[in-house]
Amino acid sequence: MDAPEPCLHAMARGEPMPSIHDEEGPRLPDGVGEVVDSHVHLFPPRVFDAIHRWFERHAWSVRYRLHSEQVVEFLRQRGVARFVALHYSHKPGMARELNRYVHEVARAHRDVIVPLGTVLPGEPDAEAVVHEALHTLDLHGLKLHCHVQQFAPDDPRLDPVWAACASAGKPVLVHAGREPRSPPTASTPTRSAQPSGSSACCSVTHDSSSWSRTSGPTRSPPTWR
């Protein structure tokens, strides 16, 4: 494991980031067709608030400090047709609650939200958490975060997760980058593996070392049903 490093983002170093306050139009321009946002986070209010505080202290300022219903309204007003709802857990026992939460939010907005679940690899009852997410709640796949959850894609703890998703015919979205990099999340997994029989796609946050050493594990892109 690499030694803990401070977040390398410009804002964390006190440098200006003009894009955080760039001019925002009222909505998407006409003629662009149907827009689906494939990366939108939804969390319960207390978790959203904790994440915002963490970023303010350790990384960068969050421009849109919205809760879930506000996120839905914000995107709808700006012309986004649908979006994929993502979340992740960083401690045991959290994933099940988050999965149930996003399921309920998505039920209220069936025409807009494509919900994914999550699991913390290796947590007690991980297989039961995954089964509930993919079958009982009928979420459309799983989101995993290598850096925050501190695992590599070929970690043996993930074997039952890959197998469950392959059996259900549902994809796994993997955040494979290392940002925000800071002492509270110091793990830096860089290995990669392509799980047999499952469909995986990567969400990568760029930094020079992980970009050169992490490969993308995927076959054809998944279809968000």
Phi, psi of 43 (to 5 degrees): -135, 160
Residue 27, pLDDT above cutoff 80: yes
Is 133 in contact with 144 (CB distance < 8 Å)?
A: no
Domains in the chain, ordered, with CATH?
35-213 (3.20.20.140)
- Pick the residue with more confidence: 90 or 195? 90
- Buried b / exposed e over 126-137, threshold 16 CB at 10 Å, is beebbbbbbeeb
In the sheet with 172-175, reading across from the earlier edge strand, the strands are 142-145, 172-175, 200-203
What is the per-residue pLDDT across 81-104, written as a single tens digit (0 to 9) for each?
Answer: 999 999 999 999 999 999 999 999
What is the per-residue pLDDT across 28-43, written as a single tens digit (0 to 9) for each?
Answer: 999 999 999 999 999 9
